[in-house]
Amino acid sequence: MRMRRLRRSEALRALVRETAIEPGDLIYPLFICPGEGVRRGVGSMPGVFNISVDEAVREAEEAARLGVGGLLLFGLPETKDEQGTGAWEENGIVQQALRALKQSDAGKKLALIADVCLCEYTSHGHCGIVIESQGGFEVDNDPTLERLARTAVSQAQAGADVVAPSDMMDGRIAAIRRALDEAGFAMTPILSYAAKFASAFYGPFREAADSAPQFGDRRSYQMDGANLREAMREIDLDIEEGADMILMKPAMPYLDVVRAARERVGVPIGAYQVSGEYSMLQAAFEKGWLDPTRAMFESLVSMRRAGADFIVTYFAKEVAKLLR
Ligand code: PBG
């Protein structure tokens, strides 16, 4: 047997290729900030910007033209407080963006996914309500659920096609599902970040979203990177509670988790190529150490091959352009 026979030409290689990437599999994250005509670069993420609502509509037009599957919206509110009120305000920054996008032709073509979390809206930067506990602090699970549920409902009201909780509180999917149903949004799907690991690779995102914790870290609610079995339990629970789709993150350092999830459950699975994965590649591109096109595709193919149906990536537009 000569395995090389089928590698002799690009035509043959294309014929036997097992895994493909299509623009429609890609979700493009946006960081929405107040103002008009704002387009502020994020230092640690070349090519990523904080943008105002009008610019977001422009981004949506380009993404839709390129056939990108959807947008994932994060917000940088005007002000922050202890509770993270900005997350669920009727006129919150993401809610404004959702309304504007929903009214645009491009926005109607894309899946508009809203990140549900409090960390971008709380003054302390944690993903929930912080209380003092035994001489330290704790992120208080159950009072946070109610706020997350309110956030998801306000996003659905503003036009979100999908809500995506990334907070990692226990019981949040059930709480959000119940609240959506009661508010008349029984048809709004939940994409849960079911297996989200406490990761160094979120560093650049925290600059982009201005959401770094002001004290402590997220290890009391995000998962320990060493635990695969625990990830499966998180996934089972989220699906039991009503998750329609699940997201794994980070992606490249956790491809085994994507594969295990794929073999375990039938729901659609996404992988999130997070900020640090993107910045790491961009840094190497800038130095001329890696070939951008090949490295981008190889990283994304690895996620699809591991079993992800769709990928959240800051490369979405660039890759979609190359696929045309
Ligand atoms: C909010 C949230 C984070 C990311 C997505 N949603 C940051 C965090 O958990 O600290 C990270 C995404 C990325 O790094 O690209 N909780």
Pocket test for ligand 1, best of 94, 166, 207 (most atoms within 8 A of CB): 166
For residue 89, the model assigns a pLDDT of 97
Tokens of 53: 């609502």
Is the residue at 1 inside a domain? no
Look at ligand 1, atom 14, and give the residue with the nearest C-alpha: 202
Is the residue at 10 inside a domain? no
Rounded to whole angstroms, the Cα distance separating 125 from 103 reads 31
Ligand 1 atom nearest to 222, measured from its CA: 9
pLDDT tens per residue across span 164-182: 999 999 999 999 999 999 9
For residue 117, the model assigns a pLDDT of 97
Cα–Cα distances (Å) from 263 to 16, 41, 224, 305, in that order, read 23, 39, 21, 12
Is the residue at 281 inside a domain? yes
Is the residue at 3 inside a domain? no
For residue 18, the model assigns a pLDDT of 98
Note down the domain range covering 167: 21-323
With bands split at pLDDT 50, 70 and 90, how would you rate the model's confidence at 276? Answer: very high
Mean pLDDT over residues 23-44, rounded?
A: 98
pLDDT tens per residue across span 199-222: 999 999 999 999 999 999 999 999
Task: State yes or no: is 108 an active-site residue.
Answer: no
Q: What is the domain-level CATH number for residue 98?
A: 3.20.20.70
Is the residue at 291 inside a domain? yes
Q: What percent of the chain has pLDDT over 90?
A: 99
For residue 199, the model assigns a pLDDT of 97
Residue 222 CA, ligand 1 centroid: distance in Å? 10
Residue 141 CA, ligand 1 centroid: distance in Å? 18
pLDDT tens per residue across span 75-115: 999 999 999 999 999 999 999 999 999 999 999 999 999 99
- Supply the pTM of this predicted model: 0.97
108, 109, 249, 317: which is the annotated catalytic residue? 249
Residue 47 CA, ligand 1 centroid: distance in Å? 18
Residue 229 CA, ligand 1 centroid: distance in Å? 22
> What secondary structure letter does DSSP report for 140?
E
Ligand 1 atom nearest to 312, measured from its CA: 15
Ligand 1 atom nearest to 314, measured from its CA: 15
> Number of folded domains in the chain?
1
Q: Are strands 191-196 and 162-165 parallel, antiparallel or unpaired?
A: unpaired
Q: How many CB atoms lie within 10 A of CB 305?
A: 13
Mean pLDDT over residues 51-60, rounded?
A: 98
For residue 63, the model assigns a pLDDT of 98
Is the residue at 12 inside a domain? no
- Where helices occur in the chain by DSSP H, the ranges are 10-15, 53-66, 93-103, 105-109, 141-158, 172-182, 203-208, 228-241, 255-264, 275-286, 292-306, 316-322
pLDDT tens per residue across span 124-175: 999 999 999 998 999 999 999 999 999 999 999 999 999 999 999 999 999 9
Cα–Cα distances (Å) from 178 to 36, 172, 269, in that order, read 36, 10, 22
Q: Maximum CA pair distance of the chain? A: 68
Site residues for ligand 1, CB cut-off 6 Å? 115, 117, 119, 127, 166, 202, 205-206, 218, 274-275
- Non-local (6+) Cβ contacts of 2 within 8 A are none
Ligand 1 atom nearest to 278, measured from its CA: 15
Look at ligand 1, atom 8, and give the residue with the nearest C-alpha: 202
Q: Are 7 and 293 in contact (CB under 8 A)?
A: no
102, 196, 287, 321: which is the annotated catalytic residue? 196
For residue 312, the model assigns a pLDDT of 98
Across the chain, what does the average pLDDT equal? 97
Residue 239 CA, ligand 1 centroid: distance in Å? 21
For residue 236, the model assigns a pLDDT of 98
* Phi, psi angles (nearest 5°) of residue 124: -90, -10
Residue 3 CA, ligand 1 centroid: distance in Å? 42
For residue 265, the model assigns a pLDDT of 98
204 cis-preceded (ω within 30 degrees of 0):
no
Is the residue at 11 inside a domain? no
Task: State yes or no: is 249 an active-site residue.
Answer: yes
Is the residue at 5 inside a domain? no
Amino acid (one-letter) located at 74: F
Q: Are 72 and 113 in contact (CB under 8 A)?
A: yes
* Phi, psi angles (nearest 5°) of residue 61: -60, -45
